Amino acid sequence: MSGYTAERKLFMGITEINDELITKAFETDKKLSFRRKFTRFAVRTTAAAAAAIVAVVGIGRLLAPENLLLAAAAQIPDKTVFETMDYEQRREIFDNADTACTDLNGFYRSTMRAFLSGTEENSIFSPVGVYNGLSIAAEISGGNTRAQIMRLLGASDIETLRSQTRDLWLSDYRTNYKAKQITANSLWLDEDITYNADTLDILAREHYASTFSGKMGTEQYDRALQGWLNGQTDGLLKEYADKVTMQPPEGFDIPVLEIASTVNFYGKWNNEFDRADTYSDIFHTPDGDVSCDFMHQKEMQGRYFWGQKFSGCVMSFKDNGAGIRFILPDEGYDTDDLLNDPEAMCFLADKFPDIEEKMPDDDSFGSKFVYIDLSVPKFDIAENADLKEGLKELGVTDMFDMEKADFTPLTDVPLVAASKISTASRVMIDEEGCKAVSYIEIGFSAGSAAPPDDHAELKLDRPFLFTIFTQRGQPLFTGVVRYPDTH
């Protein structure tokens, strides 16, 4: 046997090794270097945490020099940790996040129905933001109060909820100069009340929540909270955030705590709209026709979807894997009809792999890649909403009832209940991309549309629904646009 043949044979033997080893040959160099980078990460984490403290205390010093105290800093992992994870670690987090998204589907659907239906104005909120706020509420509550929240969130136990929160956070956290997708949580305490330090530690570690302590009811402390909200939402919700107060509402004597969660998103379109193709056209609002600027794309390659009562399409963003789905009711239907339509709810709330499993063989609803002529109104809409009644309708009642609420995991103060839960959100869309921010504050055609062959037209010139999804399929923002460009 010649030497050449033997070498070649051995070479081919190595070539045909199993797929897992090949994947590892390309990926595991990262794993090995991870160990070394991890050592450096320990240093970087400290620096990041310090920076966070300085940033937050900086706000406090500026606005409330004498009273604000950071009781526990959110133990947010350095984002580079995720980037330096090896394939298996990332895969595990992605898989867990995918499962969590599916598990949360019931929560997303029910809150969308509860908070978007039945209004005459624009409606927007962040399902992820509400989830974050409620998961903290679950952590600080006990007994039936916690059980009701957990039932809505679809989590069987508190450990599951914590790992869900962590995996969703890690898998979808993005920030770079082109894309941003950041959630932040905080808890605001009264300096004269004793709180359970273990619970605060869990909030910092598992929910990445910072805890602040100050004199509840003072203007300075209110301004510190307002400053935090404005800082986390780039000042885009200032008109609402500046009115947030920790003064107890009527019927409550002492303010005890405030939960604040924010979501901040920015993405550039994968296919930007050409400004030269933006021109005024008619949008049919519930009150009559108005003219507004429409952006146009001709023959955009993308995913088009349809159902018995609607059609829609997906536009994706660069660098964060996120996308927005526009859902337009067919003539004769309105957005409330779609919020009660199981097919439309798939596209509004589900991640695509889950939708595909539900698609029937008869094409009565489905999706395909086609060329789309798309017309989208430029819009900038902002809304605030009180979620209390909606949550009560969804079975979360005890946390608002002073006689029944159980917040003993956080404090022994008697008769503590959530006195308010409100949210404000803003979504802006233009030729370059989409910016969306939100905060949630808790104080205590008839007939089937046929699938297109290879070309579809979609003109969003009447009230429509949208959802911005993260790469893992979490609905970051959702809303109904009835009046475009009203802000």
Tokens found for residue 396? 């979360």
Q: Which is nearer to other proteins, 25 or 55 (CB)?
A: 25
Residue 17 binds to other proteins (criterion: CB under 8 A) = yes
Q: Which is nearer to other proteins, 65 or 353 (CB)?
A: 353
From residue 288 to residue 317, what is the string marking binding to other proteins with x (rule CB under 8 A)? -------------x----------------
Q: Which is nearer to other proteins, 214 or 323 (CB)?
A: 323
DSSP structure string for 274-304:
PGGG-EEEEEEETTEEEEEEEEEEEEEEEEE
Q: Which region, judged by CB under 8 A, interacts with other proteins, from 27-35, 123-131, 240-248, 334-342?
A: 27-35
Q: Which long-range CB contacts under 8 A does 289-296 form with residues at least 24 apart? A: 290/483, 292/377, 292/378, 292/379, 292/484, 292/485, 293/377, 293/378, 293/485, 294/375, 294/376, 294/377, 294/378, 294/459, 294/461, 295/375, 295/376, 295/377, 295/378, 295/430, 295/431, 296/373, 296/374, 296/375
- What is the closest distance, in whole angstroms, from the C-beta atom of residue 89 to other proteins in the complex? 14
- Between CA 259 and CA 133 the distance in angstroms is 7
Residue 10 binds to other proteins (criterion: CB under 8 A) = yes
Residue 43 binds to other proteins (criterion: CB under 8 A) = no
Residue 455 binds to other proteins (criterion: CB under 8 A) = no
Q: Which is nearer to other proteins, 95 or 389 (CB)?
A: 95
Residue type, 86: D
Q: Which residues pair with 264 in a beta bridge?
A: 182, 437
- What is the closest distance, in whole angstroms, from the C-beta atom of residue 5 to other proteins in the complex? 8
Q: By rule CB under 8 A, what count of residues binds other proteins?
A: 37
DSSP structure string for 356-378:
HHH--TT-SSEEEEEEEEEEEE-
Q: Which region, judged by CB under 8 A, interacts with other proteins, from 32-40, 104-112, 160-168, 478-486?
A: 32-40
Q: Which region, judged by CB under 8 A, interacts with other proteins, from 3-11, 147-155, 226-234, 251-259?
A: 3-11
Residue 22 binds to other proteins (criterion: CB under 8 A) = yes
Q: Which region, judged by CB under 8 A, interacts with other proteins, from 6-14, 328-336, 433-441, 476-484?
A: 6-14
Q: Which region, judged by CB under 8 A, interacts with other proteins, from 4-12, 140-148, 181-189, 456-464?
A: 4-12
Closest-CA residue to 201 (of 77, 57, 72):
72
Q: Which is nearer to other proteins, 31 or 392 (CB)?
A: 31
Query: Burial letters for 25-41: b for 16+ Cβ neighbours within 10 Å, e otherwise?
Result: eeeeeeeeebeebeeeb
- Between CA 187 and CA 43 the distance in angstroms is 26
Number of Cβ atoms within 10 Å of the Cβ of 99: 12
Residue 361 binds to other proteins (criterion: CB under 8 A) = no
Residue 450 binds to other proteins (criterion: CB under 8 A) = no
- Which class for 234: exposed (0-12), middle (13-18), buried (19 or more C-beta within 10 A)? middle
Angle between helices 105-116 and 143-153 in degrees, nearest 10: 90
Q: In the set 65, 235, 342, 353, which binds other proteins (CB under 8 A)?
A: 353
Residue 453 binds to other proteins (criterion: CB under 8 A) = no
- What is the closest distance, in whole angstroms, from the C-beta atom of residue 369 to other proteins in the complex? 4
Residue 369 binds to other proteins (criterion: CB under 8 A) = yes
Residues of this chain, 65-94, that bind other proteins according to CB under 8 A: 94
- What is the closest distance, in whole angstroms, from the C-beta atom of residue 435 to other proteins in the complex? 23
Q: How do beta strands 455-459 and 366-377 pair?
A: parallel
List of residues contacting other proteins (CB under 8 A) = 1, 3, 6-7, 9-29, 31-33, 36, 94, 301, 321, 352-353, 368-369, 471
